[in-house]
Chain A
Amino acid sequence: MLSLKADIWRWSVLIPALLLAMPVLVVFGSVLSPDIEVWRHLRQTVLADYITNSLLLAFGTGAGALLIGTGTAWLVSQYQFIGRRVLQWLLLLPLAMPAYIIAYTYTGMFDFAGPLQSALRNYFGWRYGDYWFPEIRSLTGAILMLSLVLYPYVYMLARTAFREQSSSMLEASRTLGFSPRQHFWKVALPLARPALLTGVALAMMEAFADYGTVQYFGIATFTTGIFRTWFGMGSQGGAAQLAALLSSFVLVLLVLEQWSRRKIRYFYQGQRQQVSALRSLPVARQLLVALLCLLPVLLGFVIPASQLASWALPNWQQLFAADFVRLIWNSFSLAAMAAILSVMLALLFAYASRLRRDPFVRLPVRMAALGYAIPGTVIAIGVMIPLAWLDRNIDLLAEQWFDIRTGLLLSGTLFALLLAYSTRFLAVSLHSVEAGLERIKPSMDNAARSLGASPLQVLRRVHIPLLRGSVLTALMLVFVDVLKELPATLILRPFNFNTLAVRTYELASDERLADAALPALAIVCVSIIPVILLSRTLDASRGS
């Protein structure tokens, strides 16, 4: 009985996990036929650049996101200050801003030829070379841009973690003679470490996979190198070798994250304890804290969104064109479907890992979640190749046996798109759900069972209420990510099917940034809706 059950869990994980890992495996498969000559060329010329730049970008972004995310999360979860209620959800808004869009807007503003520097030159009568101005299109600029839109991952998880630290913890550290500062460094921060690391890992994976920003800024990284090698030099083997090396960095990162979490298992402190009361501050310091929290919102959302709005203003009538409404609907429905699918898969995998702690479950799940750090185009082609292979063979068989042509059954359908999204974004939903599940102590299950609850009742009355926040977070994160996603959508979509991201890309790729502003702004606006909904739900669940 028991062994049969174990097998059901194993198989129910193995099959979908392999399906999701397939695109990554297909790309890796070409490592088996390496392009030695191209690899030698890369090693002699540009590989060192790729490695240095990618690592600097990922670690820089991780550090930036950690700093902004943890700092703001600590302030809104501990202190009472003017505007705190609004700020705590405003701080999520930069999530809605695609990285390449924020890069375009800041370049538009701060570039040498942009309005700010031109005004400075006019005013002071300077010329090129007469003065120093930070160069936005540089590695530092890219790190800044990515940190500004990725810090909400850390913020969201950190805020929850800080909130759940009970007041008895604070009291205990007070009686031990810790000052509030010491409490933060010695108690609160170490306790929140798993949540912070998860957020940082997500931000770093996204930085590794970024293509739009680095390409625009002219920074040679693994992602730009993969495209150059694959298409420019026509060497799929060489590109796969680059992708494999990139993924091995990410694997190391993920193993480190898992390892740091495993050292200590953090569970909920039994029943909900008294949540620590917010500390009050003098008015002057309240203003200072509010300003500090407002800064990332301004830089990561308000300023770029205003720039977009000012570019989009002359074209606002297009908003009401029939095809624009269609674009919004396509984007919205696709993102909603992908979010639901991805969260259902994450729940399956997370529960399987919880109930069966063996490598046959864990390994496939980790493999399936690798896709987040792989550039979308690589995933898309990894989806395309096996599906087309399947189509080809079904078609051949059907022709042989029944003399009919089945053509393309899977390629170029929504199924292909959803498979790509699930592969790419599983890591996001899985991390959120796992983080939620980890806080439900196994002893709680046992307690409920000993009180006579059936497994289903445990699920309904213990797990679902406790998981609600994490599941909603996962839904929202995937929704927003899919809405912003471009490369896989572009290449896998069916005929005559456009989304907001596709329209934005078409105009931006032609360097018509002002025309691209309207669809870009629409992406941002559609993304805000779930961000606000989520934030309200999280607040409500806290109050209850």
Chain B
Amino acid sequence: MRIKPILLVIAALSSALLSAGAVFASEVNIYSARQEELIKPLLDNFSRDTGIKVNLITGKPDELISRLVSEGRNSPADLLISTDVGRLYRAKTQGVLQSISSDALSSAIPAALRDPAGHWYGLTMRARPIMYVPGKVNPAELSSYADLTNPKWRGRICVRSSDNIYNQSMVAAMIAQQGVAVTEQWVRGFVANFARPPRGGDRDQISAAAAGVCDIAIANTYYLGGMLADPALRATAEKVKVFWPDQAGNGVHINISGAGVATHAPNKANAVRLLEYMVTAQAQAWYAEANHEYPVRAGVAASELLQGLGEFSADKLALDKLGELNGEAIRLMDRAGWR
């Protein structure tokens, strides 16, 4: 009865969907965990300047890595873009990234922000400082992450769940510097000071502090930047101030977004060219500012908005350690009750 119209519909739909598969002479294929809006304009510029067509799939970083692994040598991917270093490390250990040596890349990017063997390169940087509510917290009381276990902060700290990679990376950095035992002790004390069970994202912690749930929030700088740039949220964001902890010690915990060339990249030369393009001064300024992050290239100024948060000294720990200790960090947080 209704079979024929149904077949016609299927035929029409599939032809419409499959028509996108044309082949270009020169192209580069990207698997990106960074969302399309924060990368597409840059890629369009790249295509215009070089004539290389860019194909893009965005997704969650772990799933993109799984896809790379299972596709193996047939994978069309040339470049993997990740929004944190932990995932880049995972991709490297699973063998889906290859080593690249490029003077343009190694001269533009500080050594701590790229893989020693050239499997991945940092493209933007963000920090995870302490944010406090002036009037309720005197910045002179604040000093370091370690001090956040002090009983004077009982019931005053907001932070998101330990499911989040930024918390995992932060704890991994502590393990790298102070060992498991000291870090576990720290997490227990830190959790005891939570104002409420962890819920929501980083922006929610900032809003909660601004609304009076807690006096201190831990969040990445770009979330605060995004709120300050949004007219509807600006008033909320202005209620908190950034404190840069550990300035006398290891420095503020940082993370990067970055990229690496896929092991079986069919268009390796184009992928390297795109990477090099992304660290040019001009591209860096736009790419970092699009998401309120810090450029990795020395000499490129951070956006005015970020400069308003003040200068800081960053943790110098080699970032591949964060990836290496990620599993250890999760178990430690499970044991110490950070849900």
Contacts and interface: CB of A to CB of B under 8 A. Distances in A.
A290 interface: no
Given A228-B163, A395-B73, 16 more contacts: A41-B331, A42-B334, A113-B204, A113-B213, A218-B160, A220-B339, A337-B10, A337-B14, A384-B67, A388-B70, A412-B71, A491-B63, A494-B20, A497-B17, A510-B35, A514-B232
Interface residues of B, number: 65
Interface in B296-339: 326-327, 330-331, 334-335, 339
A506 B226 contact: no
A41 to B, nearest CB: 6
A113 B327 contact: no
B289 interface: no
Interface-centre pick from B70, B201, B207 (highest chain A CB count, 10 A)? B70
A498 B58 CA distance: 9
Interface SS majority for chain A: helix
B234 interface: no
Interface stretch (A173-181, A256-264, A328-336): A328-336
Interface string A382-397: 0011001101100100
B332 to A, nearest CB: 10
Contact of A232 (B10, B60, B202, B330): B330
Contacts of B75: 408
Interface stretch (B104-112, B192-200, B241-249, B272-280): B192-200
B336 to A, nearest CB: 9
Interface in A510-525: 510-512, 514
Interface size class of A (residues with CB under 8 A): 35 or more
B29 interface: yes
A231 B90 CA distance: 9
Contacts, number: 171
Contacts of A474: none
Nearest to B35: A506
B76 A232 contact: no
Interface in A436-492: 460, 464, 487, 490-491
Contacts of B55: 495-496
Nearest to A41: B331
A511 B213 contact: no
A491 B70 contact: no
Nearest to B33: A509
A509 B35 contact: yes
A526 interface: no
Nearest to A471: B2
Contact of A395 (B14, B74, B201, B326): B74
B71 A411 contact: yes
Interface string A161-199: 000000000000000000000000000000000000000
A429 B328 CA distance: 43
B62 interface: yes
Contact of B339 (A218, A336, A502, A512): A218
Contacts of B163: 215, 218, 224, 227-228, 232
